[in-house]
Structure 1
Amino acid sequence: MKNINAHALFIFTLVYEYKSFSHVARQQNVVPSSISRVISQLEQSLGCQLFYRNTRSVIATENAEILIEYARNIHQNLTEVFEHIGEQQSEIRGRVRLNAPVLFGQLHIAPWLAEFNELYPKVVIDLTLTDEYIDPYKTSSDLIFRIDALPDSNFHARVLHQVKYYLLASPRYLNKSPKLYHPQDLIHHQCLVYQGVYGPNIWRFKTDDQLQEVPIQTTFTSNNAAALMIAAEQGMGLVLFPDWLVQQQIQQQTLMPLLTEFQGSIHNTQQSISVIYPHMKTMPTKIRVMIDFFVKKYGTPTYWQCD
């Protein structure tokens, strides 16, 4: 049996009800031969005759009597599905699956979710936090918050922020350590390094379009930025951290910015905070309002910018 499309079954139910090709054709604003062709193709797909036709009437066969209940049920089910989807779009309901790096999610996503829930109580939020790379092609996430270079052009990306890095140390560390005047002076300092997927421990500093890459001898490495933050605040060494992570520490002066005339980074490309999502002909309302919500909350410039 060949594939049978829902439209053909819908036309069949109309012909069965009105017992007239011409009546159905007028209702659907097509010529009668078009309706006849749909029914003939359906009969061919099923391998049986559905109607006896003559110049005066259309009579349903025994096969049509069997098919009609199935066809009506299929049409009703599809109608309910489309209505349900339409309700979800208009009422803003359904599940939104978010994915984000661990600390960014803890600091800048989770604190806002209660407010989002008050605005859209019928939206169910599923938040996964991981520092592992998430392949957009292999994940079921609706929105991925990515801190990286701009993603694959096959996905939409809403850029939320251009990341700025800060070289930081606690007052305790600065009181006991040599003065730091230049990136090359880092060879005389204890450095605390995030153990990620970025290759060798190289910190990059740029000024006047000149880039300096400084190999770092580490005192402490970790794959957890929170652990490095604690060590830095306790005077163990220097960290090179993004602005979204260190706003509070800078404001409270538990960590002090250093070499501010240089633009620091642990990457060789500009890092952005973006929210990415697949191409869609029509974006579900639940996704759109989620993006708009965080864009508004983060602001322009973002609330965590330290300058």
Structure 2
Amino acid sequence: MDNYRQMMAFMWAYEHGSFSAAARAHDLTPSAMSKLISRLENRLGVRLILRGARQITLTEEGLAYLNSAKNVVSAMAEADSLAEGLPTTISGNLKIRTMPTFARYQILPWLAEFLDKYPLINIDFELNAVYQDDFDRGVDIAIYGGVLPSSSRIATRIGESEWITCASPTYLKKFGNPIHPQDLLQHRCFHFNFASSWNKWDFVENNESFITPIKPLASFSQGDFLRDLALQGEGIIRLADYHIGNDIRLGKLVPILTEYKSKIKEPLYVIYANRKLQSPRIKCFIEFLQQKLKLHPWKIDF
């Protein structure tokens, strides 16, 4: 940037015929103008302007540099004109990394509407339950919940989720309803097979939080396997309301131990690399997402 200012100061001085006239025209002091040109000459290692003359007089090297500088400015002007002619329609590839269940239950229902509105956008979903910072390898947007690692990325909160301990009516009829969280140790339970706070089944009793150490019969990397087992009456699970909210509304799954339910909610974020350099396709997807989720459609009252 400083190199560019030095070059422009040289050209301004030549165009206006003196340092003082160029300085006045470009809101600089004559001293500042002189320093910019001196730095340019020192950097190049040659004298460009002959001092002492009333009018700007260029050396042979100065004339050669002037021609090169004009070519640079001309090339930049051409690049700007090309940029102005770029299509204003929102298009291109959009790579999104998010949790499989969030994509299936909270994005897929309205994705066709988004694609109809923006037919020139191609979306590539990368689904993984665990957040990773993959923006340097092409990810445009990430959508994840919980505590995020400290970084320079931009994280905008788009909602919150509640983790619900539940089972099917069939299971509860066959094995009984747990009365206290400690009873879960005697029940058939399932959870995730990777290190996660999701495997910490937290409850509250007498205003004190505690975690029940679940011993799962089986563990999976995908929440839908846990959901399917619960729907089949095979055991107790703990999943997010954005995932199983509809199953609970339909009575397919029943929340249990509600009197011990933790009041802690897990924040959900849309994450992207840079707020200022955000492409139109990223911006329009985030705005569409926020519009669809503004009423927290998965919220359950029980």
TM over 0.5: yes
Aligned to 2:161: 163
- Partner deviation per Cα, 1:257-305 (whole Å, 9 max, x = no partner): 222222159xxx752212244675x4647455544432221023x0011
SS at match of 2:25: helix
Gap regions ≥5 residues in structure 2: none
Q: Matches of 1:292 and 1:298 in 2, distance apart?
A: 10
* Aligned equivalent of 2:288: 293
Matches within 5 A, 1:83-98: 97-98=95-96
Structure 2 letter corresponding to 1:294: L
Number of residue-to-residue matches in the alignment = 299
Taking the aligned partners of 2:98 and 2:146, their CA distance within structure 1 comes to 12
Tell me which of 170, 173, 179 is aligned to 1:172. 170
The answer for the alignment partner of 1:108 in structure 2 is: 106
Question: 1:285 and 1:221, CA in 2 relative to 1: closer, same or farther beyond 3 A?
Answer: closer
2:299 is aligned to: 305
Q: CA deviation at 1:78?
A: 4.7
Q: Distance in 1 between matches of 2:49 and 2:112?
A: 59
Q: TM-score, normalised by structure 1?
A: 0.78
SS in 1 for 2:217: strand
Query: Matched residues, percent identical?
Result: 29
Residue 117 of structure 1: how far off its partner (Å): 5.0
Deviation string, structure 1 residues 207-229 (Cα, Å, up to 9, x no partner): 44133432223222111111121
The equivalent residue for 1:252 is: 250
Q: Is the 8 A contact 2:129 2:221 kept in 1?
A: no
Task: Flag the 1:37–1:214 CA change in 2: closer, same or farther, 3 A.
Answer: closer
Q: After the TM superposition, which of the residue ranges 72-81 and 208-217 deviates more from structure 2?
A: 72-81
Letter in 2 for 1:178: G
Q: Distance in 2 between matches of 1:86 and 1:162?
A: 41
1:195 to 183, 193, 199: 193
Task: Confirm or deny: 8 A CA contact 2:20 2:29 kept in the other structure.
Answer: yes
Matches within 5 A, 1:25-174: 25-78=23-76, 97-116=95-114, 127-135=125-133, 141-149=139-147, 152=150, 156-174=154-172
Q: CA deviation at 1:6?
A: 0.8
CA contact (8 A) 1:173 1:237 kept: yes
TM value normalised by structure 2: 0.79
Q: 1:33 to 1:193 in 2, by over 3 A?
A: closer
Which whole-Å CA distance do the structure 2 matches of 1:201 and 1:37 have between them? 64
Q: SS state of the match for residue 213, structure 1?
A: strand
How far is 1:46 from its partner?
A: 0.3
Alignment partner of 2:258: what SS? coil
Quote the RMSD (CA, aligned, Å): 3.6
User: 2:124 & 2:80 partners in 1: Cα distance?
Assistant: 24
TM-superposed CA distance for 1:200, in Å, is 11
How far apart are the structure 2 equivalents of 1:30 and 1:212?
Answer: 66
